[in-house]
Structure 1
Amino acid sequence: MTSGPHVPLTAADLLTVAEHGRICALAVRLERDLHEVVSRHQDLFTGRPFDPALVSSIAMSIAVTAPEYPAEQLRVTARTLLWVFAADWQIDYLARTADDVRAVVADCLAVADGSPPPGRHPLARLLAEIGDDLAAAPAFAVMQPMWREELGRMFAAVEQEWTWKTTPEAASEPSTAAPTLDEYLGNADNLACVLVNMAHWTYVGDQDCLDHIAELRVASRAVQRALRLVNDLATYRRDLQWGDLNALMLVNDSTEVTARLTTLIEGCHDLIRPLEPTCPRQATYLKRQIAFTSGFYQVSDFWGSL
């Protein structure tokens, strides 16, 4: 068997490869920082799903989504996403009672409101570090109320999903306790995509972003709903194993979910398009967020195995 003819790389190809190499190096720098965070907070990251590949995937996702920023400006974005995974693990998998959930949420929200972290839940201690980083950003004075609101929205959505999963009706008759697909998508703040984006926009502090933050939040929430379905379509079997909710569990025909995803992504681009002239970096950031996540989940998943 012979191979096909060799096609030499063009100058444009070489530039593309060089750019890929730069983004990979950016991801490496972010990954090293995240490993330092994990080493300082080992009580949060002891479960098997927190394997090195998870940390690497988080760093890669941030580097690919916002490749024009230096690692120093992306560090808080990556740390926030790592924190979101820790919060998911603590509440979705480790919490056994509603009181467990409420205690974690109360500790984290107290820290976000300025209470000192010593002696509190380890998730709150890491959140306090991230809050200190954000507080050093010039834009934090303006962005803090919105960041705090998104944190509250995330935890409210997390508590709602936990309730859906753990009511007695859910154990005996899932169809009587489960939300509709619309209700489920309305609770997509548990994905915390908007929270991560608010941390990102706060820390990079681009003025055109701050000038259009209201529109960016609306577009980001639409992206969040789309990514909820991208995630669910790829992780159905894992969600069954872990006892998580998934959009595919809420409908009789999976094509309803794929059709809804198509509609949601079209809606995202309709909201992003008007932002391209006014805050082009952040419009591109949102588009890359959709594209990266869609491509990533075709091959792999962020979490390791139980």
Structure 2
Amino acid sequence: MAVRAAEPSPLSLSMAGPAAEAAARICTVAGKLQRRMRLWAAEFPAPYDPDSFDPGLYSMLALAAAFSEPRRTVDELQPAGRVRLWTLGLARCAARAASESEVRRIAEHCAAVADGAAPAPGDDLARFLAAIRDELSELPTYPVLHEVWRDELRRTLQALSRNRAALGRRPTFEEYLDNADCLGLALTFTAHRIAIGDTGPGEEPTDAARAVQRAVRLSGDLGAAARRVDPGEPNALTLGLPRPALELRLAELTGQARRLIAAARVRHPEQADHLERHMDFYAGFFGTTDH
């Protein structure tokens, strides 16, 4: 009597199983994080108008976080996710501000709240920052990385103030690139280090994060060529350099970031992997992977 081969279980992995399983886990965590982001935006609504903060934006932010840390849970990704959403709200408030002095006032108030001051009543941006501050301060690594976190926040606030001060005066490309702290990616990365308990020595992760931040800024600008670029919005494409020169500069920035990531990997392997995956995610998202 012929022996009939057992049919595979519907739960068995296919030949592409491990990769598919990892992708499914990333998407699951991203979906949970996206829902939390939308709840945070509803809790602190003023900076998050639906026209600018649509479902696609929340999806992209959550996928970037989950792809960068495929083994982490949504709870472990939450602190950095909150900071990332807050930085975008900060940028939105700065863009809406009526004057340079108003941007300075926003920056000064946020700095004070980060240091422990109470947010002004009705100030959703400051209320959100206070909630982030309180959440981070309860984590064991916060005392170790508090000064790094505070320095990155200062750099982000100063960069946004410089953006506003430069309105009406087109910066040079290098000035524009040097102001990449306005993205807040290095600030978000510092929150992630606090969340995962990174107490390793050295400044290598910070240097690598700032290099990744510059590469991501230029990658995003080059990706903007596929859509209409607002002439009033800071963007490398409006600074007069031909696209081939910008693509070459992106390749240089990416190479520099990879070298700094490699140096950080000696003592911070997980954080180095996070930064490299984050940079590569945005290169793929913006369609600049081949450049």
Task: Decide: shared fold, TM above 0.5.
Answer: yes
Shift of 1:242: 6.5
Check conservation: 1:26, 1:71, Cα contact below 8 A. yes
Say if 2:79 and 2:191, in contact at 8 Å, map to a contact too. Answer: yes
Q: Contact between 2:45 and 2:124, CA under 8 Å: does it hold in 1? A: no
Cα displacement string for residues 230-271 of structure 1 (whole angstroms, at most 9, x for unaligned residues): 011112576732721111222332211111100010111111
**Corresponding residue of 1:30:** 33
Maintained 8 Å contact 2:170/2:239: yes
In structure 2, the partner of 1:245 is 234
In structure 1, what is the Cα distance between the partners aligned to 2:115 and 2:267?
A: 32
Number of residue-to-residue matches in the alignment: 277
Deviation at 1:99, TM superposition (A): 2.2
Q: Does structure 2 retain, via aligned residues, the 8 Å contact 1:112–1:131? A: yes
Equivalent pair of 1:62/1:78 in contact (CA under 8 Å): yes
Which stretches of structure 1, 4 residues or longer, exceed 4 Å deviation after superposition? 9-12, 236-239
- 1:278 Cα offset (Å): 2.4
Distance 1:205 1:10, change over 3 A: closer
The 5 A counterparts of 1:60-99 are 60-92=63-95, 94-99=96-101
Taking structure 1 as reference, are residues 10 and 131 closer, same or farther at Cα in structure 2, changes over 3 Å only?
A: closer
Measure, in 2, the Cα distance between the counterparts of 1:213 and 1:135.
21
Check whether the contact 1:34–1:79 (CA below 8 A) recurs between aligned residues. yes
Measure how far apart 1:277 and its partner are: 3.5
**Does the CA contact (< 8 Å) of 1:219 and 1:272 recur in 2?**
yes
TM-score, with length taken from structure 2: 0.90
Deviation string 1:134-175 (CA, Å, 9 cap, x unpaired) is: 10110101111111111110111111111112xxxx2xxxxx
- Amino acid in structure 2 at the alignment position of 1:216: P
* Residue 8 of structure 2: aligned partner: none
**Which residue type is aligned with residue 44 of structure 1?**
P
Question: Which residue does the alignment assign to 2:56?
Answer: 53
Tell me which amino acid in the other structure corresponds to 1:258.
E
Structure 1-normalised TM-score? 0.85
What SS does the corresponding residue of 2:229 show, helix, strand or coil?
helix
Is contact 1:117-1:124 (8 Å) kept? yes
1:190 to 182, 190, 194: 182
Determine the structure 2 residue equivalent to 1:16.
Answer: 19
Q: 1 or 2 for the larger relative contact order (CA 8 Å, sep ≥6)?
A: 1
- Contact 2:62 2:81 survives alignment (8 Å): yes
Which letter maps to 2:195? Y
Give the CA deviation at 1:116. 0.9
| Mapping 1:282-301, distance limit 5 Å | 282-298=271-287
More helix by share: 1
Give 2:47's aligned amino acid. L
Selected match of 1:108 from 110, 113, 123: 110
1:44 aligns with 2:36: no
Q: Distance in 2 between matches of 1:132 and 1:239?
A: 40
CA shift, 1:38, in A, is 1.5
Q: Paired residue for 2:126, among 116, 124, 127?
A: 124
Query: Which amino acid is the alignment partner of residue 220 of structure 2?
Result: N
Where do residues 246-265 of structure 1 align in structure 2 (5 Å cutoff)? Answer: 246-265=235-254
The residue identity in structure 2 corresponding to 1:13 is A
Return 5+ residue gaps in structure 2 as ranges.
1-11
Looking at structure 2, the residues matched to 213 and 223 of structure 1 have their Cα atoms a distance apart, in angstroms, of 17
Q: Is the contact between residue 30 and residue 78 of structure 1 (CA under 8 Å) also seen in structure 2?
A: yes
Distance 1:275 1:146, change over 3 A: closer
> RMSD of the alignment, in Å?
1.9
2:132 is matched by which residue type in structure 1? Answer: I
Question: Which residue of 139, 145, 169 maps to 2:141?
Answer: 139
* Counterpart for residue 269 of structure 2: 280
Distance 1:252 1:56, change over 3 A: closer
How big is the shift at 1:12? 4.2
**Map 1:142-291 → 2, pairs under 5 A:** 142-165=144-167, 170=168, 177-206=169-198, 210-236=199-225, 240-241=229-230, 243-291=232-280
Aligned amino acid, residue 250 of structure 2: L
